[in-house]
Amino acid sequence: MKIVFFGTPEFAVPTLEKLLNHSEFEVLAVVTQPDKRRERGNKLIPSPVKAIATAHNLPVWQPERVKKDTETLTQLKQLDADVFVVVAYGQILSSKILNMPKLSCINVHGSILPKYRGAAPIQWCLYNGEKETGITTMLMDVGMDTGAMLQIATTPIGLLDNAQDLADRLAALGGDLLVETLLKLERQEIQPIPQDNLAATYAPLIKKQDYALDWSKSAIQLHNQIRGFYPNCTATFRNNLLKITASAPLGSVGDRNLPPELIHKLPDLSNISDKPGVVVSITKGIGAIVQTGEGLLLLREVQLAGKRPQSGWDFVNGTRLTVGEVFSAGR
C-alpha cells in the first residue's frame, strides 16, 4: 500500500514509525508544517515528523498553505498514492487533496468521536474530567473531524494523568490502530460508521486566558485545568507569575483515587478551611496545600519564572513558604 503521510508534532511520530517499519506499507513522501523558530538563538527547528522523515531519506514537503501550493498539489497528484494518512498535521485539506488517493484519506484523531472534534481533544477531555478517551480512525471529508468512523481504541484516564502522559499513550495507541485499520480496509473488513452530529462536542485551540487559575473554582476543577493545559497554568504568588504544573485534589473526590504512598503522607485535613487561595497546610516532603472554592489542592510541582520545574516541597523550602500565605489568580 503506497502512502503519503501528513503530520507535524511528536504525537504523529509513532504512527509514521509504524508505517515505516511495516512490510505491507511504502511511505512515498511526508508533508509537514514549515520549520519554526524556537528556543534561544532563534534557530529554525524542524518538526518531529520531519526529523524522522529526513532520517529515512523520504521526500519532505513543507508548504505554508498546502491547499494553495500548486507545486505540492502537482507532486501529490503525481505520486498516485493509495492512501493519505493524516495525524495532527495542522492544516485543513481541500476536497481536491482529499480526492487524490485511490482508496481514501484517513485521519488518526485523539478522541472517541464524535466527542472532542477539533484542535485540542486531549487537553479538553482532561479539563472536563473524562474518565476514558481514545483514538478514532476515520475517513476524512471537508468538515472538521466529521468523517465516517472506521475503528476506535480506548484507554482509561488516571486522576494524575496530564496532557503529556495521555498524548504519549494515545500516540502509541494510534500507530497500532492505524496499521490495523489499513490492513482491514485493504481486505474490505471495515464498514465505515457515520458520526452522530447531535452528540458531537468541540475541542478548540487553547487561548492564553485558559491558563489562568481561579482559586474560587473547586479543587477538582483546578486540578483538571492544570493537568489538561499542562504545563502552562498560572497563578500569582508574591506578585510574581508562577506556573503550577502538577497537583492533586484532596477530599472526597480526590483521595479515593490517589496513590496510597501519597495518601499515607497527608495530615488530617478534615477540619481545615479558609478563603480560596490561602495556604492551609504544608506537608513535609510533599508541598503546600491550598484552599479552593471547594476542597483542597496539593501543589505537587511548580515552576517559577525563568526557572526549571521543581517539586512542591523544594518550592516550599526555596521560598520559605508559610501557612497563611495567599495564591491569587493567574494572568
| pLDDT above 70 (res 39) | no
Report helix, strand or coil for 85. strand
Largest CA distance in the chain: 71
For the whole model, what pTM was predicted? 0.93
Using a 10 angstrom Cβ sphere, with 0-12 exposed, 13-18 middle and 19 or more buried, the burial of residue 28 is: middle
Cα pseudo-dihedral 266, 270, 275, 280, rounded to 10: -30
Rounded to whole angstroms, the Cα distance separating 279 from 275 reads: 9
Cα dihedral 303, 304, 307, 312 sign: negative
Write the CB contacts of 196 (distance below 8 Å, at least 6 apart in sequence): 114
Cell numbers representing residue 129 in the block = 474530567
| pLDDT value for 253 | 47
pLDDT digits (tens, 9 = 90+) for 137-146: 999 999 999 9
| pLDDT value for 74 | 96
Amino acid at 149: M
Rounded to whole angstroms, the Cα distance separating 151 from 106 reads: 11
Tell me which residue has cell 498546502.
Answer: 66
Rounded to whole angstroms, the Cα distance separating 110 from 88 reads: 9
| pLDDT above 70 (res 155) | yes
pLDDT digits (tens, 9 = 90+) for 235-293: 999 999 999 999 999 975 445 677 777 777 777 777 788 899 999 999 888 999 999 99
pLDDT digits (tens, 9 = 90+) for 10-27: 999 999 999 999 999 999
pLDDT digits (tens, 9 = 90+) for 66-118: 999 999 999 999 999 999 999 999 999 999 999 999 999 999 999 999 999 99
